[in-house]
Amino acid sequence: MPYNDRLFQLLGSLEPGELQAIWEKGFRRKPSDEEFEKLPQDLRVSVVSAHWRAIHGHSLPNLWRDSHELPWKRILIDVADKLKPGLGWTPITLDDATTEQALERMVLEFFEQRVRTAWAALPPEEQTRLASQLDAEMSASDALATGRATEAGITHVTATSLAAAIGSGLVTGAGVLALATGTTTLAVGGLLGGTLYQIGLWLVVRMFGVVTGAQLVASGGAAAVGGALLSAPAAAAFVAHAAMSTAYRKTIPATLMLLCAHELRRQLAELE
């Protein structure tokens, strides 16, 4: 597998902090592991790629596989199979005509379907409690502390607005952006664009906690939305279901982190 496949390209376009978040929060590795914290960005991309493929493809044949040989499409198929609602796996195979981009979209849509199911299962009072908790955390965040983002149109989270965002699709339907701004047609850029990106990722992370049954916490990092994926709530939310294997407890959150980051960036670029 060449060192310039789709996974390499996606990882290479991340900010340093985002790549580090995948290493620490997705894979649960220490900054000192493999001297990650000392490496330049291009080598970090290579290390993350190799580790991702190694833990996902952990098996006897993996002993004879090159570090970057496991196809990104194989990883996406496996993640989609695990996230797919209902019984059975997807019909996608490694050698069919389905593109990696189509699979990435499928993974996000399956995640959103699970969020809708989890939300619908919550009693109304729990929906209100969750919305209030998210609103309190967002209001206390560094990203909104100066008031500049609020003046630019960042809105409060309510049970009604959260339900609308979930219904339209948190990521693929631009639900998190509509939730933060009250509209999907707002022209953004600069500070506001960066703030919306951080809040969007953070909201997706928190809803992943609802899907997986992770305990939602309202303290210990709630003011770190400016560091989105590095916050304590993010770490708590990305606890996958106990039934998942060790590999999937790492690769599924990492995959969602990576795909959500790129999709939110794409949507924000269209609004600029």
Please give the share of the chain, as a percent, with pLDDT higher than 70.
68
pTM of the model: 0.80
In this predicted structure, the answer to whether residue 54 has a pLDDT above a threshold of 70 is yes
In a domain, 266, yes or no: yes
Under 8 Å between Cβ of 138 and 206: no
* Tally of structural domains, the chain: 1
Q: Which residue has the higher pLDDT, 56 or 79?
A: 79
Judge residue 117's burial from the number of C-beta atoms within 10 Å of its C-beta, 0-12 exposed, 13-18 middle, 19 or more buried: exposed
**CB neighbourhood size of 9 (10 A):** 12
* 42: amino acid identity, one letter: D
Backbone angles phi, psi at 205, to 5 degrees: -60, -45
Domain residue limits at 160 = 6-271
In a domain, 1, yes or no: no
What is d(CA 67, CA 51) in angstroms, rounded to the nearest whole number?
8
Average pLDDT over residues 61-66: 55
